[in-house]
Structure formats: structure tokens, C-alpha cells
Amino acid sequence: MHPVPRSFYRRDASLVAPDLLNKVLVAGNRAGRVVEVEAYRGSDDPGSHAFRGKTGRNATMFGPPGHLYVYFSYGVHWCANAVCEREGVAHAVLLRAIAPVFGLEEMRAARSRGQKHPVADRDLGRGPGRLCQALGLTREHDGADLVTGDRGVWIMDDGHRPPAIPDVGIRVGLSAGADRPWRYSVPGDRHVSGPLGRPDRPGR
């Protein structure tokens, strides 16, 4: 069990993304296995926050690889990405879903606040906003180093390999760049969000 090294991230996000499947995302005393991701390729990708250049929000994407880019979405939810490629090239991999591994009750407490019913295990980390809520990731984790764990957040390799043949599909919630097949997930895993999490549905 060791942190994924910096060199892992210093590549095109569309190559890093499928390799992140089955890695372990750790935040404090909570952890989950990454089962769904999307690649965003900066200035080459009209679906990327970085397509039109650097802003206050996306500055972390332009920094060195192996750091966490966290942004606020729809004025409601946080979403977390692993920054890829060398400094100045704004590639990133959106962490879309985890299968909870450790700290389930902390996750459930974080996810159930202000809700009618306690959240089921399957829904703790199924979706990018839910993933951040379950792990307690917010603005204060933007820029965190995933290799050194300077803010208690790491991506670890426990020897569990990525799927030999991941499910591949189009990215969720975009209009610009919607045609690019840069969404990857672990086949058959029930913690995957959207159509790929429901076998024999469109999107496969």
C-alpha cells in the first residue's frame, strides 16, 4: 500500500483516467475505491473548465500534477479532480464515484445531514458531488498534494489492478465536448453513477 507516485499523473488525462480505476482515495479516516472517472484535457477540450484559459476557480488545474482540484458546482456541490500533465498543461481527471471501503458511518453522517432518510451504502459515493460530501472534501482541499498527503488526502495503490477492459462512455452533463468518450468505470460495479451503473442501458 503506497501513494500513487507523481510520475503517474504527469501524463495525458485520458491515459491517467482508466489507470485510476480501483485505486483507493483516502481522506482522513475515510476511504473508498475509485470506480468511475472522467478525463478533461484542458485547452484541447471544449468540455474542460480550462478550455478558455486560467481563472480564479481553475488555477489549480494549471499547477503541477498529483494535486487535487476542487470546485463548487451549480452553487451547491463540490467536485474533486486529480490534476495531470506537467505544470502549465491543465489536464485533470474528475473523480465521479467511489465504492466505500472504510469510515462508512462517518460518510453516512456527512451525507445524511439535512436529509429525510439515512443514505444507503450504495449512494454514499455514487456521483461526484456525493463523493465529496461523503469524504468531507471542500474548498480547503483545493490544491492538496495527493502524493504527500499534506492535507490528509491521498490516492493509494493497494495492488488492486485497474480492470483490463473498463467500461467506456461519453461524459455526463456536458453539451460542449459531449461526444468525447472519456468516461471510464469498473464494469458491473453498483457504485457507478448513471447509465454505466445500470447494465444493458444506453451509454454502454
Partner DNA sequence: CTGCCGATATACT
Partner DNA sequence: GTATATCGGCAGC
Residues in contact with DNA by CB under 7 A are 38, 40, 47-50, 52-53, 55-58, 61, 69, 71-77, 79, 81, 92, 94, 111, 115-117, 119, 123, 127-131, 133, 171-176, 193, 198, 201
Residue 160 vs 190, nearer CB to DNA: 190
Instruction: Tell me how far, at minimum, the Cβ of 111 lies from DNA, in Å.
Output: 6
Query: Least distance in Å: CB of 80 to DNA?
Result: 8
Q: Which residue lies nearer to DNA by CB, 13 or 156? A: 13
CA 84 to chain centre: 12
Type of residue found at 28: G
CB of 84 to DNA, least distance (A): 11
The conformation of residue 79, written as its DSSP 8-state character, comes to E
- Residue 128's closest CA among 188, 193, 184? 193
- Residue 132 or 156: the one with the smaller Cβ distance to DNA is 132
Which of residues 56 and 159 has its CB atom nearest to DNA in the complex?
56
Compute the least distance from the CB of residue 86 to DNA, in Å. 17
User: At its nearest, how many Å lie between DNA and the CB of residue 22?
Assistant: 20
List all residues 6 or more positions away from 50 whose beta carbon is below 8 Å from its beta carbon.
Answer: 40, 42, 43, 58, 61, 62, 90, 92
Of 83 and 156, which has the nearer Cβ to DNA?
83
Closest to DNA by CB, 2 vs 117, is 117
Report, in Å, the least distance between residue 1 CB and DNA.
27
Longest dimension (CA), the chain: 44
Q: Which of 32, 83, 26 is nearest to 60 (CA)?
A: 83
For 112-181, the DSSP string reads HTT-SSPPPGGGSSBSHHHHHHHHT--GGGTT-BTTTTTTSEEEEE-SPPPPSS-EEEPPSS-STTTT--
